Amino acid sequence: MNQLGMTRRAALGAMAAALASAAGRLPVNKNVKWGLGSNLWNYFPRVPFTDILDVMKDTGFTALRVTQFPQILQTYNITSAQMLQEATKRGCRIVTISFSPPSHDPARRAEVVNNAKTAMTFLKEFGAKHLVVFSPNRSNAATPGAFQAMCECFNAIGAAANEMGFQAGLHNHMGQIVQTAEEVDRCMAMTDPKLFHFSPDTAHLHLAGCDVVKTLDKYRSRLMMADYKDAKRLPDAKPDTFNRESIFDLGDGEIDFPGCHRVLKSMAFDSYLIVDLDIARQGPRASYERSGEYVVNKLEPIYT
Strand 247-248 with 230-231, pairing: antiparallel
Evaluated on CA atoms 205, 208, 213, 216, the torsion sign reads negative
Beta strands in the chain (DSSP E): 33-37, 63-66, 93-99, 130-134, 167-171, 196-198, 226-227, 230-231, 247-248, 272-274
Q: What is the pLDDT of residue 30?
A: 97
Interacting residues of 146 by C-beta distance below 8 A, sequence separation 6+: 104, 136, 140, 177
Q: What is the pLDDT of residue 20?
A: 39
Interacting residues of 77 by C-beta distance below 8 A, sequence separation 6+: none
Read off the DSSP letter of residue 103.
T
**Residue among 118, 228, 103 nearest 166 (CA):** 118
Residue-wise pLDDT for 16-71, tens only, equals 434 434 446 999 999 999 999 999 999 999 999 999 999 999 999 999 999 999 99
Residue-wise pLDDT for 207-225, tens only, equals 999 999 999 999 999 999 9
Q: How many CB atoms sit inside 10 A of residue 155's CB? A: 17
Average pLDDT for residues 75-81, to the nearest whole number? 97
Q: What is the pLDDT of residue 237?
A: 87
Crossing angle of helices 49-59 and 80-89, rounded to 10°: 30
How many H-runs (helices) and E-runs (strands) does the chain carry?
11, 10
Fold of 33-299: TIM Barrel (3.20.20)
Interacting residues of 117 by C-beta distance below 8 A, sequence separation 6+: 160, 164
User: How many residues would you count in the chain?
Assistant: 304
Q: What end-to-end distance do the CA atoms of the chain give, in Å?
A: 40
At residue 35, what are phi and psi to the nearest 5 degrees? -145, -175
What share of the chain in percent tops pLDDT 70? Answer: 92
Read off the DSSP letter of residue 244.
G
Beta strands in 86-129 (DSSP E): 93-99
**Residue among 33, 102, 39 nearest 65 (CA):** 39
Is residue 249 over pLDDT 50?
Answer: yes
Interacting residues of 14 by C-beta distance below 8 A, sequence separation 6+: none
Interacting residues of 112 by C-beta distance below 8 A, sequence separation 6+: 101, 102, 103, 153, 156, 157
Beta strands in 150-234 (DSSP E): 167-171, 196-198, 226-227, 230-231
Q: In the chain, where are the structural domains located?
A: 33-299
Q: What is the pLDDT of residue 8?
A: 52
CB 191 within 8 A of CB 155: yes
Residue-wise pLDDT for 117-131, tens only, equals 999 999 999 999 999
* Spatial separation of the C-alpha atoms in residues 240 and 304, rounded to whole Å: 35
Amino acid at 180: T
272 forms beta bridges with: 33
Query: What is the model's pTM?
Result: 0.91
Which stretch of 203-207, 234-238, 241-245 has the lowest confidence by average pLDDT?
Answer: 234-238
Strand 226-227 with 247-248, pairing: unpaired
Q: What is the pLDDT of residue 11?
A: 47
Q: How confident is the model at residue 142 (pLDDT cuts 50, 70, 90)?
A: confident
Q: By CB neighbour count within 10 A (0-12 exposed, 13-18 middle, 19+ buried), where does 83 fall? A: buried
Residue-wise pLDDT for 164-180, tens only, equals 999 999 999 999 999 99
